[in-house]
Amino acid sequence: MGRKAGIKISLRERKLLQRFMKAAKDAREYRAALGILLRTENKSADDVGKRLGVTIKQVFMWCRKFKEQGVKGLNVKKQTGRIPKAKNKAKEVIPKLLKEDPQAFGFLKGKWVLRDISQHLKKEGINLNYTGVRRALGELGIVQKMPKLRAPGSIVKNYKKRQEIRRYKQIAAALLKKR
């Protein structure tokens, strides 16, 4: 009781599908069109799924949409959902903020850190946590390095530096609490 391998399409539909593949800007659209072309070559849904890295169910969905709507059924729809208002506001503020020195805004570090950017945005009325800030920076194409407070080397050599860092961590927490 196996399923039929492949589907049948006309020569005209095949050419439409190939044109669609050439014009596809989204990898998902290209993969769907390729999957249907592979199915027309009598490949099983299991083989097509393994080759394209999708499930058998997805292959059958592509075929069903293609039979019902043609090439238009393979177009990827825009994702629905709530518009991220806070992140859009933050994207306007962040580039200007990064040009400034964080110490001018009362932060102790010499470079901007995600947590400090998030705190400053909250002062401006934009409630965005540090993961939201990271996503916004990624969408803006800004790469943020994660600083580490540590003194490299052996304990004997950098004993004073380690003490300074320990004191800094205690003082930084106390200064933030006083504000």
Question: For position 61, what pLDDT does the model report?
Answer: 93
Residue 125 is assigned to a structural domain of this protein: yes
Q: Are residues 96 and 70 in the same domain?
A: no
Residue 179 is assigned to a structural domain of this protein: yes
Alpha helices in 41-99 (DSSP H): 45-52, 56-69, 85-99
Could you tell me which residues come within 8 angstroms of residue 148 by beta carbon, excluding any fewer than 6 positions away? none
Tally of structural domains, the chain: 3
Q: Are residues 90 and 132 in the same domain?
A: yes
Q: Are residues 132 and 155 in the same domain?
A: no
Which domain-ending residue is among 53, 74, 95? Answer: 74
Q: Are 90 and 121 in contact (CB under 8 A)?
A: yes
Residue type, 65: K
The predicted-structure confidence for 90-148, as pLDDT tens digits, reads as follows 899 999 998 888 888 888 877 888 888 999 999 999 999 888 898 899 888 888 766 56
Q: What is the pTM of this model?
A: 0.48
Residue 5 is assigned to a structural domain of this protein: no
Give me the domain span that covers residue 102. Answer: 82-147
pLDDT category of residue 30 using cuts at 50, 70 and 90:
very high
Residue 118 is assigned to a structural domain of this protein: yes
Question: For position 8, what pLDDT does the model report?
Answer: 85
